Amino acid sequence: MSARRPLRVGMVHLSDPRIDSRIQRLAGALAARGDEVDLVCLGAPSAVRVGAGTIRAHPVGTEKPAGGPGAYVRGYLRFLAAAGRRLTRLDLDRRFDVVEIHNMPDVLTAAALGPRLRGTPVILDVHDTFPELFATLYGRAPGDPLVRLVRAQERVGAALADHVIVVTGEARERLASRGVGVGRCTVVMNAPDGAVLGPARPARRLPAAGPMRLLYLGGLAPRFGVETLIRAFGRLRTTAPRVHARICGPGADRDRLARLAAEVAPDRIEIPAAPVPFAAVPAELAAADVGVVPTLHDAFTELLLPVKLLEYVHAGLPVVSSRLPAIGHYFTGAELRTFAPGDPAALAAAVEAACADPDGTHRRAQAAGARLADLGWERERARYLALVDRLAGRAPDGEAGADGATGADGAGAEAAGRAAAARGRPSPAAALVR
Over residues 368-382, the pLDDT tens digits come to: 999 998 888 989 999
Question: Is 308 among the domain residues?
Answer: yes
- Largest Cα separation within the chain, whole Å, is 69
User: Is the domain of 293 the same as that of 393?
Assistant: no
> Which segment of 89-98, 296-305, 399-408 scores lowest on mean pLDDT?
399-408
Question: Is 104 among the domain residues?
Answer: yes
Final residue of a domain: which of 159, 187, 215? 187
Question: Is 406 among the domain residues?
Answer: yes
User: How far, rounded to the nearest angstrom, does the alpha carbon of residue 96 sit from its chain's CA centroid?
Assistant: 25
Average pLDDT (164-177) is: 95
pLDDT value for 236: 95
Q: Which residue has the higher pLDDT, 424 or 223?
A: 223
- Does 407 have pLDDT greater than 80? no
Question: Is 260 among the domain residues?
Answer: yes
Q: Which residues are paired to 36 by β-bridges?
A: 8, 54
| Predicted confidence band of residue 275 (pLDDT cuts 50, 70, 90) | confident
Q: Are 32 and 51 a contacting pair, CB within 8 Å?
A: yes
Closest CA to 120 of 92, 154, 148: 92
Average pLDDT (103-117) is: 96
pLDDT value for 400: 43
Q: Which residue has the higher pLDDT, 418 or 149?
A: 149
User: Is the domain of 368 the same as that of 402?
Assistant: no
Question: Is 1 among the domain residues?
Answer: no
User: Is the domain of 138 the same as that of 159?
Assistant: yes
User: Is the domain of 177 the same as that of 243?
Assistant: no
| Predicted confidence band of residue 8 (pLDDT cuts 50, 70, 90) | very high
Final residue of a domain: which of 137, 165, 187? 187
| Predicted confidence band of residue 383 (pLDDT cuts 50, 70, 90) | very high
User: Is the domain of 65 the same as that of 129?
Assistant: yes
Q: Are 240 and 355 a contacting pair, CB within 8 Å?
A: yes
User: Is the domain of 384 the same as that of 366?
Assistant: no
Mean residue pLDDT across the chain: 89
Tens of pLDDT along 237-255? 899 999 999 999 888 899 9
Question: Is 2 among the domain residues?
Answer: no
Cα–Cα distance for residue pair 30/27, rounded to 1 Å: 5
Closest CA to 290 of 230, 207, 182: 207
Question: Is 92 among the domain residues?
Answer: yes
pLDDT value for 421: 39
Cα–Cα distance for residue pair 304/156, rounded to 1 Å: 23
pLDDT value for 194: 85
User: What total of structural domains would you count in the chain?
Assistant: 3
- Does 431 have pLDDT greater than 50? no
Average pLDDT (404-431) is: 37
Find the domain containing 172 and state its range: 8-187
Q: Which residue has the higher pLDDT, 160 or 275?
A: 160
Final residue of a domain: which of 167, 187, 207? 187
Average pLDDT (300-315) is: 94
- Does 423 have pLDDT greater than 50? no
pLDDT value for 3: 65
User: Is the domain of 410 the same as that of 290?
Assistant: no
Closest CA to 127 of 162, 154, 96: 154
User: φ and ψ at 30, to 5 degrees?
Assistant: -70, -50
Q: 279: domain CATH number?
A: 3.40.50.2000
| Predicted confidence band of residue 71 (pLDDT cuts 50, 70, 90) | confident
Tens of pLDDT along 176-188? 999 999 999 999 9
Closest CA to 160 of 105, 95, 116: 116
Element (H, E) at 263: helix 254-264
User: Is the domain of 229 the same as that of 272?
Assistant: yes
pLDDT value for 19: 83
Distances (CA, A) of 262 to 4, 42, 62, 113, 370: 57, 32, 30, 49, 38
- Does 355 have pLDDT greater than 90? yes
Closest CA to 52 of 38, 32, 37: 32
Q: By CB neighbour count within 10 A (0-12 exposed, 13-18 middle, 19+ buried), where does 49 fall?
A: exposed
> Which segment of 52-61, 97-106, 140-149 scores lowest on mean pLDDT?
140-149
SS3 41: strand
| Predicted confidence band of residue 395 (pLDDT cuts 50, 70, 90) | low
Cα–Cα distance for residue pair 213/287, rounded to 1 Å: 8
Residue type, 202: P
User: Is the domain of 309 the same as that of 393?
Assistant: no
User: Is the domain of 170 the same as that of 154?
Assistant: yes
**Residues 6+ positions from 66 with CB-CB distance below 8 Å:** 72, 75, 252
Question: Is 389 among the domain residues?
Answer: yes
User: Is the domain of 381 the same as that of 368?
Assistant: no
In terms of phi and psi (left: phi > 0; alpha: psi -120 to 50; beta: otherwise), the region of 69 is: alpha
User: Is the domain of 245 the same as that of 287?
Assistant: yes
